[in-house]
Chains A and B, each alone.
Chain A
């Protein structure tokens, strides 16, 4: 991966839901690219299309029109691997304890169970969550669960972390903790970070602010990462 090569590149990407007169244009002709090491806040009101764009960037969803490519990541499966996703809603697997949840992306990659656990323990240590290794998701607070989700995103040493409203269900103090954890994690593994949020306090921690309004993406000029609507 070349330092200047884009991690993700979108060209005129749109995503529609439904058909006919009930069609919803969630994302309209978005064009952008994300470079390694970026710190981007994707802001906008609820329903503006932030989450949809994030899911498209993660490869979790397919665009209706336009193209998305991952130039710097070609040849590797996106997940588990170079792209990690943190969701708004609790996303830990209920039957697995914390260390098993964190180790899961590695195990899915085929990494040996013991090695995956060691890596998971390191990721949890990095976020100060060592005490929680044997806990079940239901035994965690909302903030703890999101920080464990961050540790899970970190464990496979991703090049890009995409966080979809990770603090949406948290109080402000916990939200700050989780945002700090995300920033620290991205720094520690040298990953680019994109956080979709409508919380200006969270967005304030990040270098760039991309605005979504009614599915249209607005990017301030000039920027290291260029996106346009």
Chain B
């Protein structure tokens, strides 16, 4: 009965109850939305891992084992949906006579594929020229042999006569690394490079050529059973990895040594589970501080009504209520607020999820959504207990009503401030930052092939300590300024406050704790919003950079292997509407010792801007510096870090590569001068490549032909411009655009809808900043309504009341924005460093979202001004009622 009466009383004063409920609901909504995002992200990663694998399992038949038996065993596995038998035969080399010259290659591999293989595993082989079946030459081999459709090539066989075939088409093998993997290598073993020379034959033809070789040299042929699995797997990559690898081991056991499983799907999921942990880290780094901040704001709102609550409690106590009764009432209020906040928060999370991710569900599955919702609601109830029940019980045990009135006064310096806890926390944060920013540090430890993976949660200590230290330091700065800076404060207030400046400065000084708390909350909210926005903007920018690196430019036109375009082609492309600039690239292959690497011939004076080259792509200076070196030295060359290390190169060293001569079609030595290291280059592979002057390559090889055109559209209408170019070039070249590339490149982490996450996070950050700037100040001013009433009764007019209020507003807003911006900047630097693993490539500098930050600052300022305006308006009411309530 008492509980009902108590709650009726609370409902009659709905402001505080509603504010606390909404504050907790905000925290619940944030956790539920981000939790749901995390669950969906993991499911996306799993699906993406499945999507990028062309062949799930490659089961290698053991020497002497019957391939048919193995194939039957694999096909009989419950998870296997389809199988194909693939034969591998070693060749001593290919040869071709084209344009009157004889070309030959080193050793290679000849594959025998069943006719249905391309349909069963469409991602393994990509047609570049010609039909989908028949004798198909791999792109690089075609380039090496200078062979195309209709050319005849010879296949060398150990101990047997070479055989000849006519080329029907040219193909690309996008998954060559996994296709030619050495199945059964121990985890962590050095991966094998795929063969440079590959030919694909129909199975019947392969058997005709290589069955004799199998009889004479059985070690030169082997058979694999390629399998496609049932992809209904757990949504979490780690769980999916465990399932797939477990079943692969189970199959191996059943094969009893007749076959070894090359688990490509398991390997992809292995990489994804590391990314999933990064997503989890993102959730913790970017989501948790927001939820904690929402909790802190709520606690502040709740505390702003503490005086009234204590008075109510005191009244109850004078009427005989025991500590137990008061605790029970507080728990009742906690339960009602917690449940209401849970319901509102989860509702808001569903709306946010629908808005940002186009789904009402807060997880990958309904069950997961329910679990996340329940967890977030429980956190809401815990916050309610912390901000309502705990202080109520504490006050009931320890405080008198008179003591509770002490909102201002001469507070002693807090113990943490005396001992410099904020400095210690910041120093510890700096130490952790130093440890985590050293070379070789990895946040996520996911040893390849090992079931156990882990996040180095130690790294979380850096940002956590920084949050705590920065919060306390903000408090100290504002408090110290208001305590010691009365004279400068008076001078600053003089123009707006006139004779009241001294009184206002004194008032600010005495309310320094309240103001420091409000300013600190505003600063933390700004820091949260700024760091989240900047991190997300940097991430988005780097994802764009990654796409540019992969695609090369807004639109990239690639000539088929062996076809070299002339300079007029660039002029023609430049005339297409929407094209701003066309940059021509030579793409050759060069032998560095025995290693064949991609060689790019560029115009060093234009490539930096045209290729959007970043400083992070090179070492030893900015991109402009390095490429101006290239421009000054005709035979200069940039090599990969690995090559520079392997050959112990120093700037100015001469290196000799072997390049194909245009006339003789043979590889001849060409001398270059080592000028620096290139880590990334548009369209180049990640591991090793070379960049040199196009003019020098043309002169040295007698071939000025262009293979790739980087088309700059100023970032606008890339798809439309790409379509126009496709219409223009027809099937003579491959045209790819940036927008399409962005969808298919990058790690599985970039596949996650971070755009939606950004929208949600920024919206929450906005709400927190507005709440911190406006509501906290407004509630504080509401509590000081009595002060306004007294001043009014003494004759203060509205403008004079406004002087006090606006001074407080200015302190909270200016300190909140300035300290928040500084904290946010440092936090972003730390986050970017600690989460380097999510960036590909790592950013050279932060990308600042100025529009968002300006809007944020304006919102916080407007919220504070609106709150101040409301407070001044409240002073217009008759002060009598306020004063009579005592």
**Stretch with Cβ within 8 A of B (4 or more), from A35-43, A75-83, A177-185, A204-212:** A75-83
Chain B, residues 849-863, CB within 8 Å of chain A (1/0): the string is 000000000000000
Chain A, residues 93-128, CB within 8 Å of chain B (1/0): the string is 111110010011101111111001000000000000
Asked if B503 contacts A138 (CB within 8 A), the reply is: no
Asked if A113 contacts B499 (CB within 8 A), the reply is: yes
Chain B residues, Cβ within 8 Å of A97: 506, 510
Q: Is B115 located at the chain interface by the 8 A CB criterion? A: no
Q: Is A133 located at the chain interface by the 8 A CB criterion? A: no
CA distance A89 to B883 in the complex (A): 7
Chain A residues, Cβ within 8 Å of B796: 108
Asked if A93 contacts B878 (CB within 8 A), the reply is: no
Chain B residues, Cβ within 8 Å of A81: 795
Chain B residues, Cβ within 8 Å of A129: none
Given A96-B506, A108-B500, A136-B410, do A61 and B880 touch, yes or no (CB 8 Å)?
yes
Chain B residues, Cβ within 8 Å of A139: 409-410
Classify the secondary structure of B's interface with A.
helix
Shortest CB-to-CB span from B884 to chain A, Å, is: 7
Q: Is B14 located at the chain interface by the 8 A CB criterion? A: no
Asked if A95 contacts B884 (CB within 8 A), the reply is: no
Q: Is B351 located at the chain interface by the 8 A CB criterion? A: no
CA distance A94 to B411 in the complex (A): 13
CA distance A87 to B786 in the complex (A): 13
Asked if A87 contacts B510 (CB within 8 A), the reply is: no
Chain B residues, Cβ within 8 Å of A89: 883-886
Q: Within the complex, which residue of A55, A85, A94, A104 is in contact with B407, where a contact is CB–CB below 8 Å?
A: A94
**Chain B residue, CB-CB nearest to A138:** B409
Chain B residues, Cβ within 8 Å of A109: 795
Asked if A96 contacts B507 (CB within 8 A), the reply is: yes
Q: Within the complex, which residue of A85, A94, A107 is in contact with B503, where a contact is CB–CB below 8 Å?
A: A107
Asked if A104 contacts B793 (CB within 8 A), the reply is: no
Q: Is A60 located at the chain interface by the 8 A CB criterion? A: yes
Shortest CB-to-CB span from B804 to chain A, Å, is: 9
Q: Is A167 located at the chain interface by the 8 A CB criterion? A: no
Asked if B503 contacts A96 (CB within 8 A), the reply is: yes
Shortest CB-to-CB span from A17 to chain B, Å, is: 10
CA distance A112 to B500 in the complex (A): 9
Q: Within the complex, which residue of A88, A112, A138 is in contact with B499, where a contact is CB–CB below 8 Å?
A: A112
Shortest CB-to-CB span from A57 to chain B, Å, is: 13
Q: Is A91 located at the chain interface by the 8 A CB criterion? A: yes
Asked if A100 contacts B503 (CB within 8 A), the reply is: yes
Shortest CB-to-CB span from A145 to chain B, Å, is: 12
Chain B residues, Cβ within 8 Å of A33: none
Q: Is A48 located at the chain interface by the 8 A CB criterion? A: no
Chain A residues, Cβ within 8 Å of B686: none
Asked if A138 contacts B405 (CB within 8 A), the reply is: yes
**Chain A residue, CB-CB nearest to B406:** A138
Given A95-B511, A96-B503, do A108 and B795 touch, yes or no (CB 8 Å)?
yes
Q: Is B120 located at the chain interface by the 8 A CB criterion? A: no
Q: Is A31 located at the chain interface by the 8 A CB criterion? A: no
CA distance A103 to B794 in the complex (A): 11
CA distance A104 to B874 in the complex (A): 21
Given A80-B794, A95-B510, do A111 and B884 touch, yes or no (CB 8 Å)?
no
**Chain B residue, CB-CB nearest to A97:** B506
Q: Is A51 located at the chain interface by the 8 A CB criterion? A: yes
Chain A, residues 52-67, CB within 8 Å of chain B (1/0): the string is 0001000011000000
Chain A residues, Cβ within 8 Å of B506: 95-97, 100
Asked if A105 contacts B793 (CB within 8 A), the reply is: no
Chain A residues, Cβ within 8 Å of B794: 79-80, 85, 104-105, 108, 152
Asked if A91 contacts B883 (CB within 8 A), the reply is: yes
Q: Is B791 located at the chain interface by the 8 A CB criterion? A: yes
Find residues 96-137 in chain B having any chain A CB closer than 8 Å to their own CB.
none
Find residues 763-799 in chain B having any chain A CB closer than 8 Å to their own CB.
787, 790-791, 793-796
Q: Within the complex, which residue of B507, B793, B800 is in contact with A95, where a contact is CB–CB below 8 Å?
A: B507
CA distance A112 to B502 in the complex (A): 10
Asked if B507 contacts A79 (CB within 8 A), the reply is: no
Q: Within the complex, which residue of A87, A107, A111, A113 is in contact with B883, where a contact is CB–CB below 8 Å?
A: A87
Asked if A110 contacts B499 (CB within 8 A), the reply is: yes
Q: Is B284 located at the chain interface by the 8 A CB criterion? A: no
Find residues 653-690 in chain B having any chain A CB closer than 8 Å to their own CB.
none
Chain A residues, Cβ within 8 Å of B800: 108
Chain B residues, Cβ within 8 Å of A60: 793, 878-880
CA distance A60 to B511 in the complex (A): 28
Asked if B499 contacts A95 (CB within 8 A), the reply is: no
13 contacts between A and B (CB under 8 A): A80-B794, A85-B794, A88-B884, A91-B883, A93-B787, A94-B510, A95-B511, A100-B503, A108-B795, A136-B510, A138-B406, A138-B409, A152-B794
Residues of B within 8 A of A (CB): 405-410, 498-503, 506-511, 787, 790-791, 793-796, 800, 878-880, 883-886
Task: For the complex of A and B, list the 10 residue pairs with the smallest distance between their C-beta atoms, beginning with the closest.
Answer: A79-B795, A80-B795, A95-B510, A89-B886, A95-B507, A113-B502, A94-B408, A95-B511, A91-B790, A138-B409
Known interface pairs A89-B884, A108-B500; 13 further A-B residue pairs with C-beta atoms within 8 A, sorted by A's residue number: A51-B880, A51-B884, A79-B795, A92-B790, A93-B507, A93-B791, A95-B507, A96-B503, A100-B503, A107-B499, A109-B795, A113-B502, A152-B794
